[in-house]
Amino acid sequence: MKNFKLVECMLCTTELDKESKKTGENIRSAVLQALRSFDLQDCFTNLAFVTDRGTNVISTLKSQVRLHCAAHILNTVLETTTPTDQRDDATALSDLLPACRSLVTFFKRSGLQCRL
């Protein structure tokens, strides 16, 4: 909180080792390593994470505050409700998908996804 307003920031991004599997244990290790690089490892239990709904990520952060990423949810809805063979052919859909992508981009950049 700063001046009684919620402040958020992206601390870092990191790529997992290409040879290691994306297991919950490996992801947790990478998160803790990233926090250690900022001397924030003791803050792990006080952080909230915005993630997709992958089982590996859920198992990694099962004891943490975790919010579903609105962009991933919207993408899942679009992928599930739109038959693969109709995604490129439908005129209405070709107008809708770019608009949805723009909406997702807006939410990602504005930080509003945590309010959904």
Whole-number Å distance between alpha carbons of 9 and 3: 16
Query: 74-105 pLDDT, tens per residue?
Result: 888 878 887 776 666 656 667 777 888 888 88
**Domain layout of the chain by residue ranges:** 18-68, 69-116
Query: 35-85 pLDDT, tens per residue?
Result: 999 998 888 888 888 888 889 988 888 888 998 888 888 888 878 887 776
First to last CA, the chain: 19
